[in-house]
Amino acid sequence: MKANQCAYRWTSGKFVIVDNTVAYHSREPFNGKRIVYAAISKGSKPVTDTTTHLVLNSGDKLPSLGLGLWKMPADSCSDIDYNAIKNGYRLLDSACDYGNEDKTGQGIKKAIDEGLCTREDLFVVSKLWNTFHRPEHVKLACQKSMADLGVDYLDLYLIHFPIAQPFVPFESMYPPEWVNCDDSVNGGTPKMLLDSGVTY
């Protein structure tokens, strides 16, 4: 990737179209206003190599090709995950905030039950959400994600964003999403949390 990467200097009025069937896109630090309208792709690209991986410092092998679960509709997520595994995907990139880890777990279970793979064949990723950053909440959040995914371990557990937010209990709102003060009352406590009985 390093040999083929390119970077565009962003200036006022600049417009770049990226075809995600042939290239990845990412962002580097930038001062000023920049808007991403869409990542455009057309058609489909077959999974051609599911054996390539990156070796992490721990020695674990991270598949270089994976299925991202962000914005995947909950009603079709389990089928999509199952079919991805059936077609060779072994990395599943999930997160508490995506709101579909329980459905992803159903897809994983179906694939394992049918002998398409073993748990050890999969590289399952999840992420710690902003409301669970305090030390006493990390383990519970990780266990909740594992339970929803139907696995007894995660291959990688990341901090989703380095932005801490007030703790929100599972029973009040899960996933907590972006709890902020935009719709707040009483000096900054989000109204939806006041209504749910959460206190700070």
Q: Would you name the residues annotated as active-site residues?
A: 98
Got the DSSP string for 41-81? --S------S--EEE-TTS-EEESSEEE-TT--HHHHHHHH
Sequence-distant (6+) residues with CB within 8 A of 145 are 94, 96, 101, 126, 154, 157
List b or e across 75-89, with b for residues whose CB sees 16 or more CB atoms inside 10 angstroms. eebbebbbebbeebb
